[in-house]
Structure 1
Amino acid sequence: MTHVQRFHGIPMSKSMRGLCKEEDYVFLGTDRTTADKDAAETLEGDRERSKDRLRRRLQREEEEKERVREMEEKKKEKEEQWRSHVEEMTCSQKTNLQERLSRIRRFRQRFQRRVLGEEPGLESGERDHILNQLLTRM
């Protein structure tokens, strides 16, 4: 087949190449069908490899989609946990503030009663009346 290399640079039509191949097979004494079988086997092997590559690529894409979906689910779960945490903190802060407000009001009422009780020059009837007015304003 050295002539193939030697005449490689010469432009030929497809039909001429086919004739040359047939002449080569006749000259070498090999059957064209065995060479075609070898070529067909090679072609079949190439097809199998390309199918395997395609299958592996599809599998990788599927795994990537699954990984992205899992990441999104984890992100949503963390956001939900954060929301519930903030909600709990807000609720506890409201409760604490309400308790503090009630303690301050009780202190203020006791303080005002004590101050009015110690006020000189007021009779007990006037003192009770003023005390009731102050308490109703609160």
Structure 2
Amino acid sequence: MAHAKRFSQIPMSKCMRDLCKEEDYTFLKSLEKQDESLEESTCVESKFQEKQEERIRRRQELKQLEREKQYEIEEQQKEKDKQWKSHVAELDVQRKAIRAKLDRLREFRDFQKKVVLQDLGLDPGSANESVNHLLRRL
């Protein structure tokens, strides 16, 4: 309490001295409150700013995660499309192979029928039930 030492050297009445002390204390308290309020306001402002920065950072992280998810979904869709196209192409190749095999089997059946009819001495244009039955058994 440096002010008390300074005021003790000034000649004044006891009542006046008490009054000055009270005024000094109120003045000092108001200064402390101003300092505290300044500190609090700077503290509040810094906290607010930190919260804002945190919100902005989280928002940016969420946007980045959303972009990454969207990119992954697009990549998965592209991969599925690619697999589907390759599957369809494979089925098309299988279909063509089966049709070619079916054509060869029909040609062979016709050839068998023609040979059996020649062996039996029948007309190749005639549709005989016994010949059809014999071919089915083969």
TM-score by length of 2: 0.65
Instruction: Indicate the residue corresponding to 1:28 in structure 2.
Output: 25
In 1: Cα distance, 2:26 partner to 2:80 partner: 81
The match for 2:80 among 60, 65, 82 is 82
In 1: Cα distance, 2:107 partner to 2:41 partner: 99
- Give unpaired runs (5+ residues) of structure 2: 1-21, 126-138
SS of the equivalent of 2:27 reads: coil
Deviation at 1:122, TM superposition (A): 6.3
Deviation at 1:39, TM superposition (A): 1.3
1:59-86 deviation line (CA, Å, top 9, x unaligned): 0111111111111111111111111111
Instruction: Indicate the residue corresponding to 1:105 in structure 2.
Output: 103
Instruction: Indicate the residue corresponding to 1:65 in structure 2.
Output: 63
Deviation at 1:41, TM superposition (A): 1.3
CA RMSD of aligned residues (A): 2.1
Instruction: Indicate the residue corresponding to 2:42 in structure 1.
Output: 44
| Larger-gyration structure (1/2) | 2
In 2: Cα distance, 1:71 partner to 1:45 partner: 38
TM-score by length of 1: 0.65
In 2: Cα distance, 1:63 partner to 1:41 partner: 32
Percent identical among aligned pairs is: 12
Deviation at 1:33, TM superposition (A): 3.5
- Give unpaired runs (5+ residues) of structure 1: 1-24, 131-138
Instruction: Report how many aligned residue pairs link the two structures.
Output: 101
